[in-house]
Amino acid sequence: MHKLINMAIVFVLVALQLPHSTEATEHPVDWIIYPEGASFYSSFASKTTFKPNDTLVFNFTTGTHNVVTVSKKNFEACNVSDVMEAFNTGPVTFTLNRTGMFYFTCAFPNHCSLGQKLSIDVTKASSSSSLAPSPSASRAAMPLAVTVTVTLPVLIVALAT
């Protein structure tokens, strides 16, 4: 007597759809005074793309620095007598919750004029469905949708007695 057992096990698809490039990015910032002064932060800002809902994570030791947001005018003048927001406990996670400019500095005496100041321009996330070719060479523009399909071969087990 023959018994034929066909076992077909087909795993079609484990589809992993990673979030689109609009997913928020966390930007770590070592919030200190750099020897090269403000050019450190302007260089960092110009090399990085910031989108709405991205976060800046300012890492510093509480009591040695703080994070304040100021107006453009006070940013340029390093005037920290009238801040909009102040965060004194490090690390500080700040959500860039809109497009446009954000101006950060440290309110400890002279830290701003020593270059501890960071201006951030938050721009709309580019649409992945745009028909226009991207003019950007940004590495952040990689499409992140990944589909993984796992297929196990059909198993045929024939048992004879």
Ligand X SMILES: *[C@@H]1O[C@H](CO)[C@@H](O)[C@H](O)[C@H]1NC(C)=O
Coil/strand/helix, residue 45: helix
Partner from ligand X, Cu ion, none binding residue 23, C-beta < 5-8 Å depending on class: none
Residues near ligand X (CB under 6 A):
22, 52-53, 59, 61, 74, 77, 79, 81-82, 97-98
Please give the Cα distance from 51 to 126 (Å, whole number).
9
CB nearer to Cu ion: give 40 or 108.
108
What are φ and ψ of residue 55, in 5° steps?
-120, 150
Query: Taking CB under 5 A as the criterion, which residues in 112-141 touch Cu ion?
Result: 116
Asked if 79 and 92 count as a contact pair (C-beta separation under 8 A), the reply is no
Burial class, 134, CB count within 10 angstroms (exposed 0-12 / middle 13-18 / buried 19+): exposed
Q: Is 108 in the site for Cu ion (CB under 5 A)?
A: yes
Q: Is 34 in the site for Cu ion (CB under 5 A)?
A: no
Asked if 148 and 15 count as a contact pair (C-beta separation under 8 A), the reply is yes
CB nearer to Cu ion: give 52 or 90.
90
Residue linked to tokens 């400019």: 101
| Contact pattern for Cu ion over residues 50 through 79, marking x by CB under 5 A | ---------------x--------------
Which amino acid, one-letter code, is at 86? A
- In the complex, minimum distance from the CB of residue 150 to ligand X, in angstroms, rounded to a whole number: 31
Partner from Cu ion, ligand X, none binding residue 117, C-beta < 5-8 Å depending on class: none
- In the complex, minimum distance from the CB of residue 70 to ligand X, in angstroms, rounded to a whole number: 9
